Structure 1
Amino acid sequence: MTAATSPSVVRDDVPAYDVDIYSDAVIRDPYPHYSRIRELGAAVWLPANGMWAIGRHADVRACLSDHDTFRSGMGVAGNDRANGIAPGNLLASDPPLHEELRRIVAAPLSLRALNDVKDRITETADALVERLVERGSFDGMADLAQYLPVSIVSELVGMPEHGRENMLRWASAVFDMLGGANERAEAAFPVIKEMRAYTVNEATRDNVRPGGWVAMLYDAADQGLIRPEQVQMLMRDYLGPSLDTTIYATGHLLYLLGANPGQWERLVQEPKLVPNAINEAVRLESPIRGFTRTVAVDTVVGDVAIPAGDRVLILYASANRDERQWDRPEAFDVGRVLIDHVGFGHGIHACAGMQLARLEMRCILTAMVERVARIEVGEPVLAMNNVLRGYERLPVRFLKKGGDPAVG
């Protein structure tokens, strides 16, 4: 292990919190731990993980803005093995390479490009919600949250069918790999190996959908914009971020609206608040807990000195509940005006697919506002993942406007 990630490294006379941030207990109930980290200091040493945690909103935003000091090019995981194989992709790169890669990967995710698929996503969301309203009871994750990413986005990516069938499993493994050195991360590596074999051997130029996002990568290689060997690496950037984060954010949105019926009633009365509701759900239940960075030079966060070479975990999910930034940060309020949450990241590494995620959730929520009188939710089942926070299953019942739904 390197000094930056070895649990044996001791940091004297600094705020410390002796808990494994990737443990089952923390994953199941993270927010009291994030609160404690914020209380202890601007940067807090995690002896069990051999790295620092940064959890206050202002400090998280500042670190994400300072990509020269807080570098991604040595990997963004919480374990050395993943950081040894990941550098060079969009997530684990620094300028100027990052700008070159993002220009290619983000092209089909721009607002202008998404205009071409907006009508299709809208029509699909309308039909989906109509079916679920008539059905009544359903699984909010498998039947609603996963539907658009799996049915439309996976087609836009343009992988051969075998890849589309495995995208959710591969995406989950990618984020498990980016956590700490634990059993979940170890179990992810064989799955990642399978995914990489697929991108090399099956997602070849003649097997991907013409005009799809992966085909655009091959076109970029033909034009000399990227090296041919970068095509497989960059297509993997579409496999994870385009799916799980949107799916989990949609599940959180659904649960929060069902668990807070007054907020749903307000949203039905004021549909203009739909974008607010989406941002508020992403703030309150950030689908990505956080990624790490490596400190390039000796630096100070707040009043805490961090040596060059140390690794820091930047906790988006903690920053988004910082009581220094928001009044009643643990409350779900669709009227809250949000312009600076970090649920989609911040700075040059802000989520490239955030506009697509917002479009999908906006279309679903707009269709719900038109048809659903009340949302009832049961107890969700949490998906255990090192980096992602979301539900594996979520019992939901839609009561349609004008009467009870059909028995489902």
Structure 2
Amino acid sequence: MTIATPLSSDVDLFSDETLADPYPQYKALRDLGPAVHLSRHGLWFISRYDQVRSALGDWETFSSGQGIGLNPGFNEAWASALINMDPPAQTEQRKLFTDRLSPRALRPVAESIDQRAEELVDDLVARRTFDAVTDLAQDLPVHVIMDLIGWPQEGRDQLLDMAAGWFDSSGPVCPRTAAAVPKVEALMGFLAEVVTKENLVPGGFGWTMIEAHKAGRIPVEGAIGLLAGYVVAAFDTTISAISSGMWLFARHPEQWDLLRADPSLVPSAFNEIVRVESPIQVFSRVTTRDVDLGEGVVIPSGARVLHSYGAANRDERHFPDPDRFDVTRNPVDHLAFGYGNHGCAGQGLARLEVHAVLKALTARVQRIELTGEPVRALNNITRGFRTLPVRVS
């Protein structure tokens, strides 16, 4: 096959300025073509909805087997993690996730999640002003997920910072990536100690990992990787969705009025929140053959490809008026949780938690207002806030 001259851009998607507001750059890259070569980082970037969805559904062409990180250190350190595998090895280990996170398996915890959300919101409404990240968004993921894992009470607070470091450490070689490495090393050491000492409550997901390791189904590195994947992914998606939702509703009070008037829109609102502000912005894979995407664009075999959920979910070719936040849109085909064999296994739990918070808020809160300037948590992979001061009435 003749390789066409690639469309190229020297934009730095990992600069502070772009991470704070990536959407103008995403649109410019979408308009260039179905894929663009990012010369600064030696990557191909896919940002249109149809091409991203197609790539995510074709693991044989867009392989995760060489790692999803943008630097060799991350991919080598986490080679045994589920996210860095292709079938058939991935299929067996993923079943450990899906069995424990299926709708049927989560049904017994749904009521307790609703109750905790109601108690939490009651407390925050009484306070009137609070930080929507640390006081609201972090509460359910830390406690619910840790209980499901069977994690001891000790050490729970440390995991949030370490989890954020995991995503940052998968970025390209740059100061932000390097600064995250000590956090990830601490996370690996922490998880390894927990697995080795079997310091988990029997019956939880973590104990399932230990039993699978003892039975020879997965190596110890695999148990640690699965545990890390459960912790990291579940934290970031849920915390980002809740805090981004608060930010969006503070900026669009008319949408909050719609949701309060019709709480049955909560599932639709959730889908719209994660479409507009996708918790995971990008991941990468490696091509196993030349890929012709049309318009004269051919990605060569062996290329590192960055596919962007955040850009695809704002693609005007698929979503009309994509930058508009509309809780009645119900974009059930959004790509915020990925697609295909690496679609987020924990998305059912994230939905339960965010739905519970939104339902509790609509029943108690008339208005959400910002009381200060929000601070973004700049991260190579994820999108969210560090602080989000709000007032509710």
Which ranges in structure 2 are unaligned for 5 or more consecutive residues? none
Shift of 1:392: 0.4
Whether the 8 Å contact between 1:21 and 1:49 is mirrored in structure 2 is no
Which of 313, 319, 323 does residue 326 from structure 1 map onto?
Answer: 319
Q: 1:132 — aligned with what?
A: 124
Which residue of the other structure, out of 87, 112, 134, is the alignment partner of 2:104?
A: 112
Distance across 1 between alignment mates of 2:381 and 2:222: 25
RMSD: 1.5
Tell me the alpha carbon deviations over residues 327-356 of structure 1, each in whole angstroms, 9 at most, x when there is no partner.
110000000031211011111111111010
Alignment counterpart, residue 284 of structure 1, candidates 262, 269, 276: 276
**Matched letter for residue 376 of structure 1:** E
Q: Which residue of 2 aligns with 1:308?
A: 301
Structure 1 residue 12: deviation in Å? 7.4
Distance in structure 1 (CA, Å) of the matches to 2:155 and 2:60: 36
- TM, length-normalised to structure 2: 0.96
Alignment-derived partner of residue 67 in structure 1: 59
Counting only pairs closer than 5 Å after superposition, residues 8-407 of structure 1 correspond to structure 2 as 13-303=5-295, 304-378=297-371, 379-399=373-393
How big is each residue's C-alpha offset from its partner over 1:32-79, in whole Å with a ceiling of 9 and x where there is no partner?
100011000001000001010000001000000111000001011122
Q: Which amino acid aligns with 1:308?
A: S
Matched AA of 1:365: L
- 1: CA distance between counterparts of 2:74 and 2:285? 13
| Post-superposition offset of 1:83 | 2.0
Question: Displacement of 1:229 after TM fit?
Answer: 4.5
Cα distance change, pair 84–302 in 1 and its aligned pair in 2 (3 A) = farther
| AA in 1 matched with 2:53 | R
Whole-angstrom CA distance in 1 between matches of 2:6 and 2:300:
12
Q: Which moved more, 1:290-299 or 1:370-379?
A: 370-379
Aligned residues of 1:72 and 1:294 also touching (Cα < 8 A):
yes
Q: Distance in 2 between matches of 1:266 and 1:298?
A: 48
CA distance in 1, matches of 2:47, 2:155: 36
Matched AA of 1:106: T
Aligned residues: 389
> What TM-score do you get using the length of structure 1 for normalisation?
0.92
Distance 1:213 1:37 in 2: 41
Distance 2:293 2:79 in 1: 25
Distance (whole Å) between structure 1 residues aligned to residue 310 and residue 217 of structure 2 = 35
Per the TM alignment, residue 233 of structure 1 is displaced from its structure 2 partner at its CA by 2.3
- In the alignment, is the contact (CA less than 8 A) between 1:172 and 1:244 conserved in 2? yes
Q: Is the 8 A contact 2:80 2:221 kept in 1?
A: no
Equivalent residues of 1:323, 1:329 under 8 A apart: yes
> Which secondary structure does the structure 2 equivalent of 1:243 belong to?
helix
C-alpha separation in 1, matches of 2:197 and 2:44: 43
CA displacement, residues 218-245 of structure 1 (integer Å, 9 cap, x when unaligned) = 1223444333442222211122101022
Other-structure match for 1:8: none
Q: Which runs of 5+ in 1 are unaligned?
A: 1-10, 400-408
Kept in 1, the 8 Å contact 2:195–2:210? The answer is no
- Mapped partners of 1:228, 1:392: distance in 2: 33
Deviation at 1:205, TM superposition (A): 4.9
Deviation, structure 1 residue 93: 0.5
Alignment check: 8 A CA contact 2:163 2:187 kept? no
Distance across 2 between alignment mates of 1:172 and 1:160: 20
Report the residue type matching 2:203 in the other structure: G
TM-superposed CA distance for 1:162, in Å, is 4.2
Letter in 2 for 1:251: S
Give the direction of change, closer, same or farther, for the CA distance of 1:229–1:248 in structure 2 (3 Å limit): closer
Q: Does the 8 Å contact 1:295/1:312 carry over to 2? A: yes
Greater shift, 157-166 or 293-302, is seen at 157-166
DSSP-derived class of the 1:115 partner: helix
